[in-house]
Structures are given as C-alpha cells and as structure tokens.
Amino acid sequence: MNETLPPSRARRVPATRLARLGRMGGLATGLAGDVALGAGRALARGERPRLDRLVLTPGTIGRIAERLSEMRGAAMKLGQLLSMETGDMLPPELAQILARLRAEAHVMPPQQLRSVLEESYGADFRKRFKGFDTRPLAAASIGQVHRATAADGMSLAVKLQYPGVRAAIDSDLDNAAALIRWSGLLPRELDLGPLLAEARTQLHDEADYDREGRYLARFGALLRHDPRVVVPVHRPDLSAPGALAMSFEPSEPIETLAEAPPGTRDAAMTALIELCLRELFEFRLMQTDPNFANYRWRPDTGQIVLLDFGATREIVAEVAEGHMALLRAGMARDREAVLAALEALGFVRPGLSERHRTAILEMGEMGFAALDGPLDFATADLPERMRRRGMEIGSERELWHIPPAETLFLQRKIGGLYLLAARIGARVDFPALLAPYAAP
C-alpha cells in the first residue's frame, strides 16, 4: 500500500465534539481579536468601526476558509450551501471564502486513514482487497474516495467517512451558524432557519452510507436501459457504516466536455437535463447535489457517469405537481398562474406589493422566453441578464427570502445544471425536451 499523501493537503480531522468545538472556538477567539484590533485602528483614524468590514479582511478570509476546510463536515457544508443559495446577496469577500470551500478539502494523514480502515473492515482490512491505494482520488466535506481492487478483481472506488463528522453534525451547524450571525457576514433580515434545516437534513443523509448505497442501487435499476448514462455498481459486501464501495468507472471531469465536438457537448447536456425532468416528474426521486464533480464523462463513448447519491431526495407529489403547474403557466405566459405557482411552492412570499410582483414576474418571463427555442449556452446572454436582474431584486430587503427545503434542493439542482451547460457551451433543444410535460 502506497501511503504517500500530498503533505500540504493532509490535515487530521478533529474527531471528537470537544476537539471540533475547540477549533470553532479558536476561530471565533482569533476573529474577535482581529476585530478588536481593527476597531482600535479605525477609532484612531477617527472612523466609526463597521463589524462586517473588520471581519472580512484578507487575513480573516484566509483564516475562516482554512479552518472550515480543516474541520470538514457540517461547517464546510453550510458554507457550500450558503454560497449557492444566497448568491448575489453576499459581500464579494464572503463569496470568496465560500467559493474556496466548494473547491478545497484537506485529506486525512496516513495514521488517521489507517484507523478509519480498521474501524470499517477490522485490523486485517488488507485481506479484504487485492490492493488499496491510500492516495485519495477526491476529498469533500463528508469523506474522501480511494481506488481499490476487490478480491474478485473488480476495480473499486471506496468512499471513507471522516471520523467524528456524523456525530458532530448538529453541534457543528449550531456553532457555525452562531459564528456567522455574530460576525454580521449576512444581512440580519435573511432568515437562516430554512437553510440550517436543509443543511442538517442533507448532512445526515449524506453521512448515512447505507442509505446512499440503497439509492445508488435504485438509480442503477431505474437507468439500466439508458445507454447514455453509467451508474456504478454498489458492493454492499465491501461496504460498512463508514465505508461505501462501488465499481470504479473510468471517466474524465465533466468540465473537459468544453473541448469536445459540439454534437457531443449537446448530447451530454441534453441527457442530463432530460434526466432531471424524469427525476422530478417520473421517478419522484432526485440526486440533488449539482456539484460538477458528481458528473463525469467518457470521451470514447460520450456516456455520462453519475456519482454521489448521498443527497438523493424523494419528491412529494405536491412539489412535483407544483413545478408542473409552474412549467405549464410559464410556457403559456400566464402571469397570474406563474405567480400563484411560485407562491404555492414557496419561492416568493404572498402579499408582495405590485412593484415587487412585477419584478419577479419579469424575471420569470425572461427565463421562460429562453425556452421557446433551442438555447445555445455558449452565446446566450441570459445567465448574465438574469444575474443582473437577480442582484436588483436582491437589493430589495422585502424580497430577501429563502424558499422551503422541499423547493430549495430542486432550485439548486436546476441552477447547477444551468451553470454546467454554460461552462461546457452546450446547445439544448428545450421545446423538444419540455413538450411531453408542458401540454395539459
């Protein structure tokens, strides 16, 4: 077994609640010291100190991102969710911290990794595999992934959960939320309650590897006749509460599709958007994490490899039917029906002023108009126009609102696919994809 890890990325995960609380407390104490020092300097210059400006200095930005990345788990996941859900309402400096949390995660050092393997497979864990590469393929907020070879010769990907992360989810979230509220990093008018509830649910789900294994197998069965996609084969015989084993599926990062021929890009993105529609309206089951790392592709066949089913959610009938009503109202350009559907789904609060109703409807019409024909994401300016409009709406405090969790995850999935289509420059025939669903 090769036990060489990149030293700059190897950090021991604090495995007990006390250790994790100490890390968070140390961060808060350090930030408080920075704030006090910055406030003193501001007063000496005759300026009135502002908490957000004192917290969001280059030094504290790096410290916050580094500490949350070291802790992994709930603190890191909350940062990732905040970056995706609050979007353009965030100060640029905070957006910088959260963007780093989406891209960075440390890995376990060799001694801690061995302890995790022994906990999952016993002291003789080497006998369970023909080979096990201790250099991880990937690292994220809950665990890290390794290549291995099963005793029967199957090439495997094994996801190992960081120690202590599952037991500390609730306390981590409470501590991270308290730090965010204390620091003034978010507007006080923004209710973090729904986001915290969503983060709590998603983290407990993602940390349940037995659950993820079941959904992995279920998606494999649902998509077994679709030659465009590949779902890894679950290996329950080599899985444990802290380890999830599946077939290793050779593939490339999905972003490299940007260099593929136009037809290949278009076909891949069409398959992913069609899958999202089927998840919502047919399967009533959705993998809700749109992280680009959860999609890969095979240049030789053009197939999409689907990874990470920890964030899979069952979709209740009311949510599916509500989105169907929204889709049909939007395609028919029925403004009142669009607003009613948005209110029913919890995207907007009832009782808005006429001015705010108009602003939201105009943004909705902008999005639906783009679906009237094939949309070329490589040249379309819709993302930028909607971003600017979203910033304008976000500047209105009356409209600061986080939707309910049951619609929040779907909004995140759709937004992630939109970003992916723009990243690879695909062209998608939306009328053809939506026709089976848009007609009453």
Strands (E), 22-89: none
Residue 342 — left, alpha, or beta (φ > 0 → left; ψ -120 to 50 → alpha)? alpha
Q: Are residues 66 and 151 in the same domain?
A: no
Q: Yes or no: say if 393 and 227 are a contact pair by the CB < 8 Å rule.
A: no
In a domain, 25, yes or no: yes
Question: Higher-confidence residue: 51 or 194?
Answer: 194
- 201 is a domain residue: no
**Residues in Cβ contact with 103 at an 8 Å cutoff, skipping those fewer than 6 apart:** none
The confidence score (pLDDT) of residue 62 equals: 56
Residues with Cβ within 8 Å of residue 15, at least 6 apart in sequence = 112, 162, 163, 164
Highest mean pLDDT among 177-186, 327-336, 386-395: 327-336
Tell me, yes or no, whether 101 lies in a domain: yes
Domain containing 149: what range? 109-161+208-249
Q: Which of 403, 245, 378, 257 is nearest to 322 (CA)?
A: 403
421 shares a domain with 284: yes
Per-residue confidence (pLDDT) for residue 36, from 0 to 100: 40
Banded pLDDT at 214 (limits 50, 70, 90): very high
Number of Cβ within 10 Å of residue 69's Cβ equals: 22
Same domain for 278 and 413: yes
C-alpha distances (whole Å) from 23 to each of 14, 126, 214, 353 are: 8, 33, 34, 45
Q: Given 3-state DSSP classes, what are the helix, strand and coil percentages for the chain, each rounded to the nearest 5?
A: 60, 10, 30
Total domains in the fold of the chain: 3
306 and 424 co-located in one domain? yes
Asked if residue 413 is part of any domain, the answer here is yes
Percent of the chain with pLDDT over 90: 39
| One domain for residues 245 and 261 | no
> Cβ neighbours of residue 193 under 8 Å, at least 6 residues apart?
none
437 in Cβ contact with 330 (< 8 Å) = no
> For residue 51, is it within any domain?
yes
* Region 411-432 average pLDDT: 89
pLDDT the model gives residue 63: 57
Listed residues 200, 218, 249: the one ending a domain: 249
pLDDT over 60 at 208, yes or no: yes
Mind telling me the catalytic residues? 289
369 & 407 share domain = yes
CA distance 432 to 2: 50
Question: pTM of whole model > 0.85?
Answer: no
Which stretch of 197-206, 282-291, 404-413 has the lowest confidence by average pLDDT? 404-413
In a domain, residue 196? The reply is no
Domain membership flag for residue 2: no
- Band (pLDDT 50/70/90 cuts) for residue 50 is very low
- In this structure, the answer to whether residues 244 and 264 fall within a common structural domain is no
Distance from C-alpha of 257 to C-alpha of 269, rounded to nearest angstrom: 10
For residue range 150-202, list pLDDT tens digits in order.
999 999 999 999 888 888 788 777 776 766 665 555 555 556 676 677 778 88
More confident residue, 440 or 7: 440
pLDDT at 361: 79
197 domain residue, yes or no: no
Q: Which two tokens stand for residue 254?
A: 């999905």
> What confidence tier does 343 reach under pLDDT thresholds 50, 70, 90?
confident
| Statement to judge: residues 298 and 272 lie in one domain | yes
Q: Mean pLDDT for the chain?
A: 77
Residues 420 and 307 in one domain: yes
Which whole-number Å values give the CA distances from 310 to 135, 142, 210, 226, 320, in the listed order? 22, 10, 10, 22, 21
Q: Which of 67, 41, 65 is nearest to 53 (CA)?
A: 41
Residue 393 has pLDDT above 70, yes or no: no
What tokens does 296 get?
Answer: 């890969």
- Give the pLDDT score at 54: 36
**Same structural domain for residues 299 and 396?**
yes
Same domain? For 67 and 83 the reply is yes
Least confident of 73-82, 195-204, 362-371, 413-422: 73-82
Looking up residue 114, the CATH number of its domain turns out to be 3.30.200
The Cα 195–Cα 122 span in angstroms is: 38
CA-CA-CA-CA dihedral for 140, 160, 287, 226, to nearest 10: 120
Band of pLDDT at residue 147, cut at 50, 70 and 90 = very high
User: Of the residues 199, 233, 249, which one is the last residue of a structural domain?
Assistant: 249
Position with higher pLDDT, 331 vs 389 = 331
Give yes or no: residues 130 and 18 share one domain: no
Residue 224 pLDDT > 60, yes or no? yes
